[in-house]
Chains A and B, each alone.
Chain A
Amino acid sequence: DIVMTQSPDSLAVSLGERATISCRSSQSVLNTSDNRNYLAWYRQKPRQPPTLLIYWASTREFGVSDRISGSGSGTDFTLIISSLQAADVAVYYCQQYHMTPWTFGQGTKVEIK
């Protein structure tokens, strides 16, 4: 199984400041046949299902704020929230869909400092 490891487990950021979350996979999720990284990011607010933010490591889902961006390739990925707002308080998960079983990172809790 591909193990996904996020860091940090939690972070507190001041309003308007940048939040950076890292995600590392135990093996590459880059598919060399299509040159795509099979990596997604989700946000989950309390008592709600997760919502998709980013797929193919850097493609923003329709309707997601351009303050949110994803980058990385192979085994190392980053999610950036460029200017934190109160609505961004949530738990963020990375997920690989390169090979089953699909696996998620343990989650990163983002709070306001």
Chain B
Amino acid sequence: QVQLEQSGGEVKKPGSSVKVSCKASEGTFNNYGISWVRQARGQGLEWVGSILPLFDITNYAQRFKGRVTFTADKSTTTVFMEVNSLRSDDTAIYYCATDGIMDYWGRGTLVTVSS
């Protein structure tokens, strides 16, 4: 069964970093890529990038390259998204989802960036 469990909400200052986790079931971790998608309040869906966790292969949307890093911990079947140099417009719900055809989604992690 595919499950994606995300970490809880975060409040961060501008310029700081945040690391969000997405724990996958073992089958999901070994067989699926994981995408990260964000959604600002009242706005649409924006793909941040993806990771193939078994091989640590990452793919970032151009606008996030250099500021976002995806990693995977095979021992806990968890993938992580770290966002650096946070700005107020990074305030959003961040979802992890199965890559490509997004048939499974986490419940989302609200990241609030505020001074």
* Chain A residues close to B by CB (< 8 Å): 1, 40, 42, 49-52, 55, 61, 93, 95, 97, 100-107
Are the CB atoms of A52 and B103 closer together than 8 Å?
Answer: yes
Q: B66 interface residue, CB < 8 Å from A?
A: no
Please count the residue pairs between chain A and chain B whose beta carbons lie under 8 angstroms apart in the complex: 49
Contact of B47 among A50, A52, A103, A106 (CB under 8 A): A103
Contact, CB under 8 Å: B44 / A104: yes
**Residues from chain A with Cβ under 8 Å of B108 in the complex:** 49
A106–B44 CB distance below 8 A: yes
Residue of B nearest to A59 (CB): B101
Which residues B53-104 have CB closer than 8 A to chain A?
Answer: 59, 61-62, 95, 97, 100-103
Given contact pairs A40-B101, A42-B102, A49-B95, A104 touches B107 in the complex (Cβ within 8 A): no
Measured between C-beta atoms, what is the minimum distance from A55 to chain B in Å? 5
In the complex, which residues of chain B have a beta carbon less than 8 angstroms from the beta carbon of A50? 45, 95, 102, 105
